[in-house]
Amino acid sequence: MTLAATDPSAEDPEQTVCGWFKERLAFAAWSAVAGAPNPQAWRGVQGAVPISFKTRDGRALAGYKISAKPAPGAAGRSGFLLVAQGNAMLADQLLPELSAFAERGLDVFIYDYRGYGASEGKPRLKAIVGDYREIFQAHSASGYERKLLYGISFGGVVMLNVMGRGAQFDKAVIDSAPSRVSALGCPAEYDPVSKLPADSSSLLIISGQQDTVVRPGEMRELLEVARARGAKTLVAEQFAHPFMDADIAIHGQRQKIVLEHLFD
């Protein structure tokens, strides 16, 4: 299965915006930590298949779809969940976790960022945000009734930038994204706090008091503005960074909260 963007542009999407050297070095380090893809990982997840997305600049992004597995006799509305993972993760590493969303009746889509895993291109903030805007638009045009977003850490930065550039979605979860990236040398236009919808009532934003990657103080402004705009917010004493919680029970509690918000 291959989708393709149809909005060509002469502008270079892989232009660095956070400092020529700094941005390249950061993404080189993060993609190295993410490691090599496991091309067989999908085979152990019911309903999972490899897919690809062709961007407007011709890059092929590798990803996966987990097809919805509604309960027998259920007559729910069709919907999709688009997932953006952390900056040191690959799509195949999350497939077992994401199968729970497919079991609730959603088609789940996740892609390796450009320059990660088997995806082509150079990893750059501007390009990755642009890619996810294109991906969201393509899936939204496929006839789904519900459109859901789940951004994890850096993926939360990506998803809030997608929202702030006009994406029409139904529900979203942002787990452990910083309020601002301008403090890291990126343009203020990419600051997550500046991309919150005026009506954020469809959002859940999660922060963990034990998080040493995106510390609670780095999320404070995002949480305050989101709460003022009607979002649900959760600052949990026991949570660390996503997928780094102290034990499986805490992680399970966290994933249950995500599921409940998206299916509320």
DSSP category for residue 165: T
Per-residue pLDDT of 113-152, as tens digits, reads: 999 999 999 999 999 999 999 999 999 999 999 999 999 9
The reported pLDDT for the residue numbered 248 is 97
Q: How far apart are CA 107 and CA 103, in angstroms?
A: 9
Which tokens sit at 119?
Answer: 């995806």
Average pLDDT, rounded, for the chain? 94
Q: What are phi and psi of 254, to 5 degrees?
A: -65, -45
What pTM did the predictor assign?
Answer: 0.93
Give exposure, 12-40, as e/b (b: 16+ Cβ within 10 Å): ebbebbbeeeebeebbeebbeebeebeee
Q: What are phi and psi of 99, to 5 degrees?
A: -60, -25
- pLDDT above 90: residue 210: yes
The reported pLDDT for the residue numbered 1 is 63
Which position has the token pair 């550039």? Answer: 165
Mind listing the domains of the chain with CATH numbers?
A: 26-263 (3.40.50.1820)
Characterize the bridge pairing of strands 2-4 and 48-54. Answer: parallel
